[in-house]
Structure 1
Amino acid sequence: MTDLSGKIALISGTGGGMGRAAALEFARCGALVVGCDLNVDGAEETVELVTKEGGRMRSVQPVDLTSEDGVDRWVADAAGEYGKVDILYNNASVARVGPWDEMTYEKWRYSLTYELDIVYLSTKAAWPLLIAAGGGVVINVASVAAHVGAQFVHQHAHGAAKGGVLAFTKHLMISGAPHGIRAVSISPGLIVTPATQPVIDAIGPAGVEGMISNIPSRRLGKPEDVAGLAAFLASDAASYINGADIAIDGGIMAAD
């Protein structure tokens, strides 16, 4: 199992889906998790699940990651309790998808705010603590949509925002290197979560079947798939992986 013993890990969006899976996985690996979410009930339930397994997790909720005050409160909680931060996992995001002719400016701005701006704000707040710790890692969630056009789901704003995450990660790697801070990103394909379920439902059974037929691994992704990769990238075993984007998409991009 990946070893994160004693590491202090900030993970955003732990109220469900990939964030909950990450909180459970990081805690199993020995990390002390500090999560956050707007979803108060979901965030508290994740803490209970981690605790039942014998893990250690704190959570701050509700936290609006588009607010500097909200982000600062979350990061300050970790600093106040543990005195340092070793890992920042920018997992949280909310997208607006739909056909291009229905992509209003409001929807466009919403995606950029909740998928790109929140990565900037969280990283900016945690950065001094990562430096003070003598190094660490920032893991950002990008998307396959940042690399290729989607055939089954219209993702103009989502793809643009996640493309920004990809670029930001590479520049962050340069800024972090002198401080021993690594920056990496993960590009998932379609992962089945409560947030993506409405999109999957809209595609319909035939559409999903068609999508799966184009995935070499012949299935959609699970939150646990991404959580396991994130935990490895956060560990010292991945210390020479820096500035990279790792696709976790069942082979979609490799087969393109």
Structure 2
Amino acid sequence: MSDLSGKIALISGTGGGMGRAAALEFARQGAAVVGCDMNAEGAEETVALVEAEGGRMRSVHPVDLTTEEGAARWAEDAVQAFGGIDILFNNASVARVGPWDEVTYEAWKFSLTYELDIVYLSTKAAWPHLVARGGGVVINTASVAGHIGARFVHQHAHGAAKGGVLAFTKQLVASGAPHGIRAVSISPGLIVTPATEPVIAALGPEGRAAMAGANPAGRFGRPEDVASVAAFLASDAAGYVNGSDIVVDGGVIAAP
């Protein structure tokens, strides 16, 4: 079993969905969590949920991780509050999806900014603190869209951005090695979160049934499915896992 006792973890997008689930799981395993989100109300609710279970968490919100100032503010808050950073979980992202012939350049740029740039900026801000700590781990949320095309939901910009996350993670392995910093990624399939619920609803009953049925697991993913994997990767139990991408999709890629 993974154990995060004594670890200080930055987790982005803790206002709900996978970020909230990760904050709860990391705190249950003993980590001090510093979250962030643009959604101040949701971020505060997550802090309350963690504290209600006896965990330690603080949050920076609202914060814009697409700016150097926002990312630095988040990282510095963790250092000031807890003395350093051991784990960076780049979870937050916002995508624009739609048919290829309807994807605008603005939508394309939006996805690259909110799915790839924020990973770069947050990692850049946290990096010197991970180095000062003598090592740590960067966990990046990629996606199955970075591996395969999608039949049910058009994800051109989303897939391109997440493909960039996968490649960026590999580069971090080489850069982090001299400092004892690991870098890994997680590629979730379709996870039911507040962000994806409208997309799932738009499929209609038949579309939802077909999409769930096409998954070998027979269901859509839950935020907790990803949070438990992230907690393991963040722990010393995964100390020899470096550069890997862990697919959490119920088997879609293996048996499409």
Note the C-alpha offset of 1:178: 1.0
Residue in structure 2 matched with residue 44 of structure 1 by the alignment:
44
CA distance in 2, matches of 1:252, 1:70: 36
Matched, 1:65 2:65: yes
The alpha-carbon deviation at position 156 of structure 1 amounts to 0.2
Provide the secondary structure at the position in 1 that maps to 2:57.
strand
Q: Which residue does the alignment assign to 1:164?
A: 164
Hey, what does 2:25 align to over in structure 1?
A: 25
Query: Which runs of no fewer than 5 residues in structure 1 stay unpaired?
Result: none
Shift in Å, 1:83: 1.6
Output one character per residue of 1:130-182: Cα deviation in whole Å (capped at 9) or x when no partner: 00111000000000000000010000000000000000000011100111000
* Partner residue, 2:124: 124
**Paired residue for 1:110?**
110
CA deviation profile, 1:170-198 (whole Å, cap 9, x unmatched) = 00111001110000000000000000001
CA separation in 1, counterparts of 2:172 and 2:45?
33
- 1:82 is matched with 82
Q: Which residue of 1 aligns with 2:207?
A: 207
Alignment partner of 1:140: what SS? Answer: strand
TM-score of the superposed pair, with normalisation by structure 1? 0.99
> Aligned equivalents of 1:147 and 1:37: distance in 2?
27
The letter of the residue matching 2:49 is L
In structure 1, C-alpha distance between the alignment counterparts of 2:24 and 2:185, rounded to whole Å: 20
Take 2:13 and 2:56, find their aligned partners in 1: how far apart are those partners?
Answer: 17
Shift of 1:81: 1.1
Distance (whole Å) between structure 1 residues aligned to residue 172 and residue 84 of structure 2? 20
Residue 99 of structure 1: aligned partner: 99
Identity of aligned residues (%): 76
Task: Name the CA distance, whole Å, in 1 between partners of 2:192 and 2:244.
Answer: 24
- Unmatched runs of 5 consecutive residues or more in structure 2: none
The aligned length equals 256
Query: 1:104-154: per-residue Cα shift (whole Å, max 9, x none)?
Result: 000000000000000000000000000011100000000000000001000
The CA distance in 2 between the partners of 1:208 and 1:199, in whole Å, is 10
What residue is the counterpart of 1:137 in the other structure? 137
Aligned to 2:54: 54
Shift of 1:67: 1.1
For 2:189, the equivalent position in structure 1 comes to 189
1:15-59 C-alpha deviation (Å, 9 max, x unpaired):
001000000000000000000001000000000000000000010
Secondary structure in structure 1 of the residue aligned to 2:253: helix
Partner of 2:3: 3
Match of 1:251 in 2: 251
Matches within 5 A, 1:228-239: 228-239=228-239
Conserved? CA contact 2:64–2:70, under 8 Å = yes
Q: Does 1:220 align with 2:220?
A: yes
CA distance in 2, matches of 1:12, 1:175: 22
Q: CA deviation at 1:207?
A: 0.8
The aligned amino acid for 2:116 is L
RMSD: 0.6
Contact conserved, 2:32 with 2:57, CA < 8 A, in 1? yes
Distance 1:192 1:92 in 2: 15
CA distance in 1 between partners of 2:134 and 2:73 (Å): 22
Provide runs of 4+ in structure 1 moved above 6 Å: none
Shift of 1:213: 1.5
Deviation of 1:2 after TM superposition, in Å, equals: 2.0
Structure 2 contact 2–236 (Cα < 8 Å) conserved? no
State the secondary structure of the residue aligned to 1:137. Answer: strand
1: CA distance, partners of 2:114 / 2:160: 12
